[in-house]
Structure 1
Amino acid sequence: MKTRITILLLALFVSFNIGFAQQDEECMNNLSMFDSYVKSKKYDDAYGPWKIVRDKCPRFNRAIYAHGEKILLHKIKSATGVDQVAYINDLMLLYDQSREYFASKYDLGEILADKANLAYKYRKELNKTNDQVYNMFDEAYVKDAKNFTSAKGLYTHFSLIVDLFDDGKKEAQQMFDKYDDVNELIEGIVSEYTTKLNKLVEKEEAGETLGKKDTQRKKFYESSIEVYETKILPSMDQKLGKRATCAVLVPLYQRDFEENKNNGVWLQRAMNRMYAKGCKEDPLFLKLVQQKNSIEPSADTAFYLYLLTGEQKYFNQTVQLETDPLKKAKLYKKLAQEFKAKGSYGKARQYFMEALKLNPSDGSPYLAIAAMYAKSANNCGDTNFNKRAVFWLAANEAEKAGRVDGRLRSAAAKTATSYRASAPSKADIFNCSCSGTVIKIGCWIGRSVTVPNI
């Protein structure tokens, strides 16, 4: 259950239902008792009064379910054998009851994911097979994917189908489809949080100080996005591992191409996966892209055609077809990374900056630009001092990443410190008597940097 709900529940007398339960003194007294015990983490003491309220007045207050989850999790952890199984099953029932009595507060996908997570954790105690637990997660996905947002649950859902594939119980295409299903759910969650985060970052960049609530929201969005992007998605790729190499994908898609050549979703997912796995040099990749472009032109197909042909018309088409700012930012980043890998740093910077305009809370383009500056230091200065001065520029750029993106604050600070260590020292500045002067950096960089005052 969403832990943030419990904050609201502490004001016990605000959300009581109108009706007979409100007048029930026994429920009122026991509610007050178990609430006090839970706050003190005396879960064993809370169990008795909580059970009375749950059984007698199940609609009395939402604390029955928010606090009840904590109480039963404690009981499960403390018990063994049949007692532990009984508490596990009781928590399963509590999840169902929370939905029954407070349906507007507990989404179906959330509850089904909670039950599946619990079943997975205690699958041995419950004698659950991978098939059975997978089906519990799949029920959450099928019935209410929108509210299936548990990061742990989404990863476990995918992880289980990989295990089932390894056991010969699922086909490769089913495994890849589930990867895309989960990936698309995560993309939607991240997109929603990023849109909200960008508004807060833009306020800060405009010089506005965020209030307490906005500061908390900003931290929540940043931490949530970080979990999905740096933990869940990489873990999924690691789990997939060698099961999705070019040697595996190419024969699979060649075999199924004729059957799916008019299936836009299949073509889209196939070409995306081949690109992600570095298979874009294989002729099949071009075949997939051209076919998708012929039946359903999209920003993605235009982008891939631009990479494959270098024709400007396809890049123009990419920009025109993609209307979602965050998706367009991702395309600009992909393009920038392609140019960066080829050593075309000027073009790479151009597209990294375009990405920043569309997604200002993503600081990674600043770090990429800083890295290109640092790598070019030896080529973009006319004296040894000026070459090393490029590292000031790189450090300044890295610091921007930490300013706009809290997820990168630590990494950006360390990177900036490292770059400054390679820049001219205070002694060098003293010897050249150039404190405070502006140095113009040449070649593709074309920027200026001010020598620090000492």
Structure 2
Amino acid sequence: MKARFIALITGALLGSGALSAQSNDCPTMAALAYDDAKAKNYDAAYEPLKNVMEQCPEYSLATYQYLERVLEDKIKKASADAQKNQYINELVSVWEKRLELYPEKTSKGKVYGDIAQLKYDNKLGSKEELYNAFDKAFTEDRENFTSAKGLYAYFDLMVEMQDAGERELQDVFDIYDRVMAKIEEEENDAAEELAPLLEKQEAGEDLTSKEETKIKYAEINLGNYNAVKNALNAKLGARADCDNLIPLYKKDFEEKKTDVDWLQNANARLSAKDCTEDPLFFQVSEALHQLQPSASSAYSLGQLAEADGDRAKALDYYNEAAELEENPSDKAKIYYRIASNYKERGSFGQARNFYRKALDAKPSMGTAYLQIANMIAQSANNCGDDAFTKRAVYWLAADYASRAARVDPSIASNANQAAASYRGRAPQKSDVFQSGRSAGEAISIGCWIGETVRIPQM
């Protein structure tokens, strides 16, 4: 009690300016301020924390962390706009000061992104100013600008400026590509972290609490990024329809037909939207392949060959495209298309090889898992030794379908339905008992599948 009294007297003296900045009593000032902040007595902590930041700016990173919480609380509770704006400006100053003094413990991408998001949410600034704030976060520290909400706002502002006649349609496409590429990178990182944990879980192994937490947050992140992707595509809407794309690129083709960058952009956009029937698509693809053979030009020529019914030639072009492609997401799409060609021909083993290549390139591509599940289920009668093992094939199909749902929330509903359907066709508890087998027992599946599945707990 006596020590607390002395500390309070000392704090009062410091607050009155009796002690100089960065004095030996910074620990006392900070301790009192931190105690209130820890107890969530934010009103009481507000002024003391400001004093610590002003008089002892380099004392501890905790000052900025606590002051951030206090100001976020005050912004949330502020009833008047002027008061809210004051707290917003103070919070921005806190973030900027933290970045200045503790750059090794503060990421520019997150700080700049948080500043931009705070201003965006509170409509502080013009669309141009807000867009530039997000652009600063993206361009100066792309790696750490990972907010799903912030990435959407970044694109949304560009769309609004284009709607207002302040930007060109091509600018919208450029930002869309930039944001989608970043989202897919984040999805892949989350799915890559998730995959071995799901395999461990499916094998019946116990997970640590840390691993369970990793699964939880990886699935949350995948859900958030999927929601943003859907929102981006909805926002892009008719802007990316062939009716808009073909005139956009046709009017500039003669002038740009020797410009590799322009041809690559046009080729990728037309291909992605399946605007392949217009002669412009062939002109762009051929011009690009002559100037600089690339993954995109080879892929486009493969599309044209496939449309003409020459599947062998199409596969040659697709394989060439996959070898040339460096972007993991685009490489996955190419492998997926090759796999689908083999699947349509009934070459399930070859198809699975290419679906797996697609997953190696993009672990979050749940549709590849779902296609493998479908092929396995189709092969149940051919890949078991007896009635029980034939039906056991469906357990394996269900495992693949479940994994599809967990790595790719966009198909979770369909994938979970498929998994439930497969489990319904698999042996039930009475079947397992009558067969003399038990939960956890491994069953080898032959033919092209060549995998092992374990009898699940029922």
State the TM-score bracket (shorter-chain normalisation): 0.7 to 0.9
The equivalent position to 1:351 in structure 2, one of 351, 354, 379, is 354
Give deviations 1:48-86, integer Å, cap 9, x for gaps. 221111121122111222222211111011112211111
Shift of 1:147: 3.5
Shift of 1:233: 1.8
Q: Secondary structure at the match of 2:251?
A: helix
- 1:116 equivalent to 2:119? Answer no
Q: Secondary structure at the match of 1:169?
A: coil
* TM norm structure 2: 0.75
Give the structure 1 partner of residue 153 of structure 2: 156
Q: Secondary structure at the match of 2:167?
A: coil
Give the structure 2 partner of residue 48 of structure 1: 47
Give the structure 2 partner of residue 368 of structure 1: 371
Give deviations 1:406-425, integer Å, cap 9, x for gaps. 54697666542232224576
Alignment: residue pair count: 422
Q: Is the 8 A contact 2:374 2:397 kept in 1?
A: no
- Separation in 2 of the partners of 1:425 and 1:145? 50
The equivalent position to 1:284 in structure 2, one of 280, 284, 294, is 280
Shift of 1:401: 5.2
- Separation in 2 of the partners of 1:207 and 1:424? 18
Which letter maps to 1:93? S
Q: Is the 8 A contact 2:22 2:57 kept in 1?
A: no
Give the structure 1 partner of residue 240 of structure 2: 244
Q: 1:65 to 1:344 in 2, by over 3 A?
A: farther
- 1:421 equivalent to 2:424? Answer yes
Give the structure 1 partner of residue 73 of structure 2: 74
Give the structure 1 partner of residue 267 of structure 2: 271
Q: 1:200 to 1:391 in 2, by over 3 A?
A: closer
Give the structure 1 partner of residue 251 of structure 2: 255
- Separation in 2 of the partners of 1:420 and 1:202? 18
Shift of 1:146: 3.9
Give deviations 1:69-104, integer Å, cap 9, x for gaps. 211111011112211111111112222212222223
Give deviations 1:347-390, integer Å, cap 9, x for gaps. 5434213334555675542222223455x489x679xx97x987
Q: 1:315 to 1:144 in 2, by over 3 A?
A: same
Give the structure 2 partner of residue 398 of structure 1: 398
Shift of 1:252: 0.9
Q: 1:176 to 1:189 in 2, by over 3 A?
A: same
- Separation in 1 of the partners of 2:452 and 2:54? 72
Q: Is the 8 A contact 1:289 1:305 kept in 2?
A: yes
Give the structure 2 partner of residue 85 of structure 1: 85
Q: Is the 8 A contact 1:250 1:284 kept in 2?
A: yes
Give deviations 1:21-60, integer Å, cap 9, x for gaps. 77532x3223223333333333222212211111211221
Q: Is the 8 A contact 1:201 1:404 kept in 2?
A: no
Unpaired runs of 5+ in structure 1? 1-19
Q: Is the 8 A contact 1:202 1:360 kept in 2?
A: no
- Separation in 2 of the partners of 1:147 and 1:434? 54
Shift of 1:391: 6.6
* TM norm structure 1: 0.76
Unpaired runs of 5+ in structure 2? 1-19, 306-310, 438-442
Q: Secondary structure at the match of 2:258?
A: coil
Q: Secondary structure at the match of 2:424?
A: helix
- Aligned counterparts, 1:318-333, within 5 A: 318-322=321-325, 328-333=331-336
Give the structure 1 partner of residue 221 of structure 2: 224
% identity of equivalent residues: 36
Give deviations 1:94-118, integer Å, cap 9, x for gaps. 2221222222332333322211101
- 1:308 equivalent to 2:304? Answer yes
- 1:317 equivalent to 2:314? Answer no
- Name the Cα RMSD after superposition: 4.3
Q: 1:29 to 1:38 in 2, by over 3 A?
A: same
Q: 1:393 to 1:105 in 2, by over 3 A?
A: same
Q: Secondary structure at the match of 1:58?
A: coil
Q: 1:71 to 1:153 in 2, by over 3 A?
A: same
- 1:35 equivalent to 2:34? Answer yes
- Separation in 2 of the partners of 1:77 and 1:403? 39
Give deviations 1:263-305, integer Å, cap 9, x for gaps. 3333333322223323233332233222222223223332332
- Separation in 1 of the partners of 2:276 and 2:217? 37
